[in-house]
């Protein structure tokens, strides 16, 4: 066969995703470090609807529609409430994160998978640090992370706004080319990829994961890797 050169049995190519250049590991929190079907984020989402309903004096269905419009137009419901209604973010953050987490349990397999990652490890969330702290404690992951960058650290400018990524890169003091970012929302990887980070999309089959149907699907060009199982993926990569 022209151009065909058989490989010897000793030269098995390593097809595992190559992360040997990565020294900084950046993880989204909700629906990324715990499973999207755990119901945790659904509870936060319901609290957001409740907040919007009380704040604007709307019925639940109408509040839900407003919430989704704010999310679509401003990246997060909170950002929309700040931009369009001038709310104080602190009572909102306090209200929406008052949720039960007792069904989140220590994740030994994920702990082991993250423990082996060399370099610094960070949580990058549009939520608040208090919520992140509670979640990480429930999962048994607290000791594995160097920082939690929350919405306050982002100056209340959330992912997917480019400013949020520039901010965390400056905070971390690292070259984006040496960082990898993991997020369940594909759109949140666009600016990370544009800065030079290696991007991993955690596909949860959720409609919002691809930001559809109202928002155009994030281009696959911004997704370097896709997985449905974070632990399995981390255990498989070359580091
Ligand atoms: Mg998420």
Task: Please report, for the chain, the start and end positions of each structural domain, with discontinuous segments joined by +.
Answer: 24-34+103-236, 42-96
> What's the gap in Å between 15 CA and the centre of ligand 1?
28
> What's the gap in Å between 88 CA and the centre of ligand 1?
23
- The 10s digit of each residue's pLDDT in 51-91 is 999 999 999 999 999 999 999 888 889 999 999 999 999 99
Q: What is the pLDDT of residue 213?
A: 37
Residues 6+ apart with CB under 8 A from 112: none
- pLDDT tier for residue 114 given thresholds of 50, 70 and 90: very high
Has residue 96 got a pLDDT over 50? yes
> What's the gap in Å between 3 CA and the centre of ligand 1?
46
Q: What strands, in cross-sheet order, belong to the sheet with 120-124?
A: 147-149, 120-124, 24-27, 179-183, 198-202, 225-227
CA distances from 119 to 125, 209, 235 (A): 20, 28, 16
The CATH architecture annotation of domain 42-96 reads: Orthogonal Bundle (1.10)
| Backbone torsions φ then ψ of 40, nearest 5 degrees | -65, -50
The b/e string for 122-142 (b: 16+ C-beta within 10 A; e otherwise) is bbbbbbbbebbebbbebbebe
CATH number of 24-34+103-236: 3.40.50.1000
Fold agreement (24-34+103-236, 42-96): no
């Amino acid at each position: 066969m022209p151009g065909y050169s058989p490989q010897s049995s000793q030269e098995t190519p390593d097809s595992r995703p190559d992360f040997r250049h990565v020294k900084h590991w950046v993880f989204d929190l909700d629906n990324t470090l715990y499973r999207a079907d755990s119901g945790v984020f659904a509870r936060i989402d319901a609290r957001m609807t409740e907040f919007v309903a009380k704040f604007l004096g709307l019925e639940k269905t109408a509040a839900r529609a407003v919430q989704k419009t704010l999310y679509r137009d401003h990246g997060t419901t909170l950002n929309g409430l700040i931009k369009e209604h001038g709310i104080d973010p602190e009572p909102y953050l306090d209200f929406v994160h008052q949720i039960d987490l007792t069904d989140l349990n220590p994740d030994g397999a994920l702990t082991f998978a993250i423990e082996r990652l060399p370099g610094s490890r960070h949580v990058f969330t549009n939520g608040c640090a208090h919520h992140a702290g509670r979640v990480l404690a429930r999962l048994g992951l607290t000791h594995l992370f160097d920082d939690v960058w929350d919405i306050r650290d982002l100056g209340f400018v959330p992912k997917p706004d480019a400013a949020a990524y520039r901010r965390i890169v400056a905070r971390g003091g690292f070259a984006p080319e040496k960082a990898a970012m993991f997020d369940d929302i594909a759109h949140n990887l666009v600016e990370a990829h544009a800065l030079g980070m290696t991007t991993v999309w955690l596909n949860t089959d959720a409609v919002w994961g691809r930001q559809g149907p109202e928002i155009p699907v994030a281009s696959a060009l911004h997704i370097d890797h896709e997985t449905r199982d974070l632990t399995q993926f981390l255990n498989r990569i070359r580091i």
